[in-house]
């Protein structure tokens, strides 16, 4: 007979194929609904986009008028190159020394199961919450959250939850202090295009498209170096500077065998993954792009797709305060410490999570995944989490959830 333990339940959840590019959410959501019903949580599925469900679980508080708490995770994961893994990425194989290998083991199916397991334990001890606790499972985070959290966050269903404070995913910590994140970087998809005079490949002339584009590519590389130098000099963390990384180059005239080699093309284009930390000045950067990186005098144009906002509706920079003026922070910190854990200095996250959509509503979010002594393997081959770390995480959430939902203070929105 198959065992049924928190670990086997974690393994079951990891085996659902919610990896991109074709995540199947149906089976994973039914599994979670079953788990939730077995501990008497109410369940609700909302499809803002058909086939892309948001699952919402609720544990009603004794004072449901108080702003609620939301614990969020995403259902989807990035793809895995199975042949490059030492154990198949969807087998959730557990080694003799307790490593559970699976895509999603760290990012972020661990927290999705830990939330449920910790509530199960709290319930079995007879604990009941003062504030209502919600758990959400959203689709599409890994590809930007546009059909997931972005729509959920602005929905009437979300507004009705009256959320006061949110905990979302964080990242593993190789050391023995838990990492916690008070802000994300905002992604911009930047494409620069150059047009120019076409001509014979043998001729030297000004204003060719490739020449125009390459000048910009060099300028952008130089800017990238200045940002990276701050990091290398120890003046800023990687996540505190603007990163701009080339992700594609497109130019040339196609031939049957590849490219026509004696023609200088009339169009050329480059794409960048650009990330802005919350404290960056988006206007200054846009000016730089317009005047230096894609100036019309060099026949250049550009598009920026902003995948999230840097400021809330009142124009405030979107960050969660992590000092003792914020009672949610103090309660969270003490709750982690009560389990014998220590928090590292709060950080900005290098990448971007769904937390940015909630922060842009003016609601505070901390990014937290309780994994210490664990190498950071998000989106990497051989992603794993140790069983002991997973089990300890359940205990940490028991402490965090019970402390936050017992907070009876009046300071419900301290930004
Ligand atoms: C364009 S938003 C993409 C969101 C994605 N999140 C996790 O990796 C990221 O690249 O950070
Ligand atoms: Zn994630
Ligand atoms: Zn991810």
Could you write out the DSSP letters of every residue in 108-134? THHHHHHHHHHHHHHHHTT---SS-EE
All CATH 3.40.630.10 domain ranges in the chain, comma separated: 6-180+322-404
| CATH code for the structural domain at 6-180+322-404 | 3.40.630.10
351 lines ligand 1 (CB under 6 A): yes
In this predicted structure, the answer to whether residue 414 has a pLDDT above a threshold of 50 is no
| pLDDT band, residue 283 (cuts 50/70/90) | very high
pLDDT at 300 over 60: yes
- Closest Cα to residue 165, out of 43, 329, 319? 329
* Mean of all residue pLDDT scores within the chain: 96
Write the CA distances from 286 to 182, 275, 281, integer angstroms. Answer: 25, 13, 9
Contacting residues for 23 by C-beta, under 8 A, at least 6 apart: 17, 75, 76, 77, 139, 140
> Which atom of ligand 1 is nearest the CA belonging to 379?
8
pLDDT band at 415 (very low <50, low <70, confident <90, very high): very low
Least trusted range by pLDDT, from 121-135, 280-294, 314-328: 314-328
Which residue stretches of 239-386 are H helix? Answer: 282-288, 327-337, 355-359
For residue 14, the CA-to-ligand 3 centroid distance in Å is: 14
pLDDT in tens, 149-194: 999 999 999 999 999 999 999 999 999 999 999 999 999 999 999 9
Pocket lining: 150 vs ligand 1, CB cutoff 6 Å: no
Evaluate if residue 290 carries a pLDDT over 70: yes
What token pair was written down for 35?
A: 């788990």
Q: Biggest alpha carbon distance in the chain?
A: 82
* Centre of ligand 2 from the C-alpha of residue 141, in Å: 7
- Residue 51 has a CB neighbour count (10 Å cut-off) of 11
CA–CA dist 367, 354 (Å, integer):
10
Residue 87 labeled ligand binder: no
Catalytic residues: 76, 141
CA of 87 to the centre of ligand 3 (A): 20
Range list for CATH 3.30.70.360 in the chain: 186-306
- The encoded tokens of residue 408 equal 């009876």
In this structure, which residues have their CB less than 5 angstroms from ion ligand 2? 107-108, 169
CA neighbor of 35 nearest in space, from 55, 9, 61:
9
Which protein residues have their CB within 5 A of the ion that is ligand 3?
Answer: 107
- Atom 8 of ligand 1: nearest residue by CA position: 142
What is the three-class DSSP state of 43? strand
Query: Quick one: pLDDT at residue 318?
Result: 83
Q: 128 with 25: CB under 8 angstroms?
A: no
Say yes or no: CB of residue 352 within 6 Å of ligand 1: yes
Q: Distance, CA 188 to ligand 1 centroid (Å)?
A: 10
pLDDT score of 234 more than 70: yes
ipTM: 0.98
Determine contact, residues 255/176, Cβ cutoff 8 Å: no
Q: Which atom of ligand 1 is nearest to the CA of 78?
A: 8
Q: Check residues 407 and 410 and name the one with the higher pLDDT.
A: 407
Closest atom of ligand 1 to 275 CA is 11
pLDDT at 247: 97
pLDDT at 412 over 60: no
Predicted pLDDT at 151: 98
C-beta separation of 133 from 401 below 8 A: yes
Q: What is the pLDDT at residue 410?
A: 61
What fold characterizes domain 186-306?
Alpha-Beta Plaits (3.30.70)
Among 241, 187, 240, 183, residue whose Cα is nearest residue 358 = 183
pLDDT at residue 411 in the model: 53
Q: Is the pLDDT reported for residue 309 higher than 90?
A: no
Is the Cβ atom of 146 under 6 angstroms away from ligand 1? Answer: no
**Average pLDDT of the segment spanning 306-312:** 83
Query: Does residue 20 sit in helix, strand or coil?
Result: coil
Q: Indicate whether residue 307 lines ligand 1 (CB < 6 A).
A: yes
Residue nearest atom 7 in ligand 1 by C-alpha distance? 142
Rounded Cα distance, 372 and 338, in Å: 16
> How far apart (Å, rounded) are the C-alpha atoms in residues 190 and 14?
34
| Burial of residue 21, with CB atoms counted within 10 A of its CB: 0-12 exposed, 13-18 middle, 19 or more buried | exposed
Instruction: Output the residue whose Cα is nearest ligand 1's atom 9.
Output: 352
Of ligand 1's listed atoms, the one at least distance from the Cα of 144 is 2
Which of 348, 352, 356 to probe ligand 1 with, by most ligand atoms within 8 A of CB?
A: 352
Ligand 1 in reach of 142 Cβ (< 6 A): yes
Question: Edge-to-edge strands of the sheet including 93-94?
Answer: 93-94, 99-101, 384-386
Please give the helix or strand (H or E) that residue 248 lies within, else none.
strand 243-251
Q: Report the range of poorest mean pLDDT among 1-10, 11-20, 80-89.
A: 1-10
What's the rounded Cα separation, in Å, for the pair 304 and 161? 33
């Amino acid at each position: 007979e198959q065992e049924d333990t928190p670990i086997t339940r974690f393994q079951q959840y990891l085996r659902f194929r919610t990896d991109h590019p074709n995540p199947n959410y149906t089976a994973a959501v039914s599994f979670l609904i079953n788990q939730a019903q077995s501990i008497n949580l109410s369940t609700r599925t909302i499809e803002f986009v058909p086939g892309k469900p948001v699952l919402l679980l609720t544990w009603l508080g004794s004072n449901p008028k108080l702003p609620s708490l939301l614990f969020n995770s995403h259902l989807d994961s990035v793809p895995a190159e199975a042949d490059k893994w030492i154990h198949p990425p969807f087998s959730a194989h557990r080694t003799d020394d307790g490593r559970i290998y699976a895509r999603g083991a760290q990012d972020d199916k661990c927290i999705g199961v830990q939330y449920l397991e910790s509530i199960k334990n709290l319930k079995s001890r007879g604990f009941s919450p003062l504030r209502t606790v919600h758990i959400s499972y959203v689709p599409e985070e890994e590809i930007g959250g546009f059909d997931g959290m972005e729509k959920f966050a602005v929905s009437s269903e979300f507004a009705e939850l009256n959320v006061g404070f949110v905990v979302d995913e964080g990242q593993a910590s190789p050391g023995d202090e838990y990492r916690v994140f008070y802000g994300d970087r905002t992604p911009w998809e930047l494409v620069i295009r150059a047009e120019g005079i076409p001509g014979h490949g043998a001729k030297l002339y000004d204003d060719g498209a490739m020449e125009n584009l390459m000048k910009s590519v060099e300028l952008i590389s130089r800017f990238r170096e200045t940002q990276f130098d701050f990091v290398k000099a120890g003046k800023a963390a990687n996540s505190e500077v603007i990163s701009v990384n080339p992700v594609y180059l497109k130019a040339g005239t196609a031939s049957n065998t590849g490219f026509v080699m004696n023609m200088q093309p009339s169009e050329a284009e480059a794409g960048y993954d650009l990330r802005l930390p919350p404290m960056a000045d988006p206007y200054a950067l846009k000016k730089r792009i317009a005047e230096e990186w894609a100036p019309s005098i060099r026949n250049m144009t550009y598009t920026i797709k902003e995948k999230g906002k840097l400021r809330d509706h009142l124009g405030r920079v979107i960050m969660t305060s992590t000092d003792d003026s914020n009672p949610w922070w103090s309660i969270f910190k003490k709750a982690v410490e009560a389990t014998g854990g220590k928090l590292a200095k709060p950080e900005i996250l290098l990448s971007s999570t769904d937390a940015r959509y909630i922060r842009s509503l003016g609601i505070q979010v901390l990014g937290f995944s309780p994994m210490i002594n664990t190498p950071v393997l998000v989106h990497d081959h051989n992603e794993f989490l140790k069983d002991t770390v997973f089990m300890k995480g359940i205990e940490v959430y028991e402490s965090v959830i019970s402390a936050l939902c017992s907070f009876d203070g009046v300071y419900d929105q301290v930004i």
